[in-house]
């Protein structure tokens, strides 16, 4: 199985801050990495897929990068609506599809 | 608009089965697969498996093999997920989610179905 490890597990930040979240796969996933945002009581919402492609309607302050086993989600200027939990997901193989443990972005 | 509407909350006793439905609308149903993802309280999402809306083929995570069945009714654009031999650690919110046809990422999700397993 592919394991997905996110860091940090939580981050405290202020509106306007730049926030970076890291996701590491236990083996190469050929760039098939997605990022989701989840707010309490709601389903996850797709932000980015195939490492860096922004889903339609997602603000451009969100960006993704990486290759091989190491990937990054960056929020360039944190907005009040961005306080949420973020998950990465490997989409390369059904063996199995796997999510990271999550990063909670909290208000400082 | 694309919608995935799931059945309501369930409370089950250990050892019982639960069957959750997911009715799709607003798109060509057979062009996209449906996946099931669950999320236990305070935990990250966990992928359970996939069913092809076109062929009915399925692929289950090994963890759930033998306990889960996913079925598709193309006449009503509805996918069902049945989980058997329920345990307390199956308590979670169960989501259906549509994939992006050529990518196994999830662009639309159902609202979630809470399943509580308790004696």
Work out the pLDDT band at B101, boundaries 50, 70, 90. Answer: confident
Residue A33 contacts residue A64 (beta carbons within 8 Å): yes
* CB-based contact B44 A97, cutoff 8 Å: no
C-alpha gyration radius of chain B: 13
* CB-based contact A32 B103, cutoff 8 Å: yes
Side-chain half-sphere CA neighbours of A73 within 13 A: 30
Query: How many CB pairs lie under 8 A apart between chains A and B?
Result: 50
Whether B57 and chain A come into contact, CB under 8 Å, resolves to: no
Q: What is the pLDDT of residue B102?
A: 86
Percentage, residues of chain A above pLDDT 90: 92
Distances (CA, A) of B118 to A55, A58, B14, B90, B112: 39, 39, 6, 10, 19
Q: What is the pLDDT of residue A94?
A: 72
Work out the pLDDT band at B31, boundaries 50, 70, 90. Answer: very high
Nearby residues of B54 by Cβ (< 8 Å), 6 or more positions away: B30, B31
Is pLDDT of A108 > 90? no
Pairing, β B10-12 against β B113-117: parallel
> What is the rounded CA–CA span in Å between residue A50 and residue A64?
9
Whether B115 and chain A come into contact, CB under 8 Å, resolves to: no
- DSSP-assigned letter for residue A95: S
Mutate to test the interface with A, among B35, B45, B101 (most CBs of A within 10 A): B45
Whether A30 and chain B come into contact, CB under 8 Å, resolves to: no
Pairing, β A98-99 against β A45-49: unpaired
Chain B contacts in chain A segment 34-73 (CB below 8 A): 34, 36, 43-46, 49-50, 55
* CB-based contact B100 A101, cutoff 8 Å: no
Alpha carbon dihedral A41, B23, A48, A19, in 10-degree steps, equals: 0
* CB-based contact B44 A32, cutoff 8 Å: no
Work out the pLDDT band at A93, boundaries 50, 70, 90. Answer: confident
Closest listed residue to residue B108, CA positions, set B22, B17, B16, B8? B22
Read off the pLDDT of residues A45-69 as tens digits, 9 standing for 90 and up.
999 999 999 999 999 999 999 999 9
* CB-based contact B109 A91, cutoff 8 Å: no
Whether B95 and chain A come into contact, CB under 8 Å, resolves to: yes
> What is the rounded CA–CA span in Å between residue A28 and residue A70?
9
Query: What's the first-to-final CA gap in chain A, in angstroms?
Result: 36
């Amino acid at each position: 199985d592919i394991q997905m490890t996110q860091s940090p597990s939580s981050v405290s930040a202020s509106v306007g801050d730049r926030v970076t979240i890291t996701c590491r796969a236990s083996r190469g996933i050929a760039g098939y990495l997605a990022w989701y945002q989840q707010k309490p009581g709601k389903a996850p919402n797709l932000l980015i897929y195939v490492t860096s492609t922004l889903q339609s309607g997602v603000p451009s302050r969100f960006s993704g990068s990486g290759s091989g086993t190491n990937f990054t989600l960056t929020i360039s200027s944190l907005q009040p609506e961005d306080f949420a939990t973020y998950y990465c997901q490997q989409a390369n193989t059904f063996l199995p599809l796997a999510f990271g443990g999550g990063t909670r972005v909290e208000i400082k | 608009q694309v919608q995935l509407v799931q059945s309501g909350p369930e409370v089950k006793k250990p050892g019982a089965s639960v069957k959750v439905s997911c009715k799709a609308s607003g798109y060509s149903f057979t062009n996209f697969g449906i996946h099931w993802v669950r999320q236990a309280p305070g935990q990250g999402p966990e992928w359970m498996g996939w069913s092809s809306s076109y062929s009915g083929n399925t692929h289950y995570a090994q963890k759930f093999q033998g306990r889960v069945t996913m079925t598709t009714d193309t006449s009503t654009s509805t996918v069902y997920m049945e989980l058997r031999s329920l345990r307390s650690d199956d308590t979670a919110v169960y989501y259906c989610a549509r994939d992006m046809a050529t990518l196994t990422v999830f662009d639309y999700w159902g609202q979630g179905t809470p399943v509580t397993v308790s004696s």
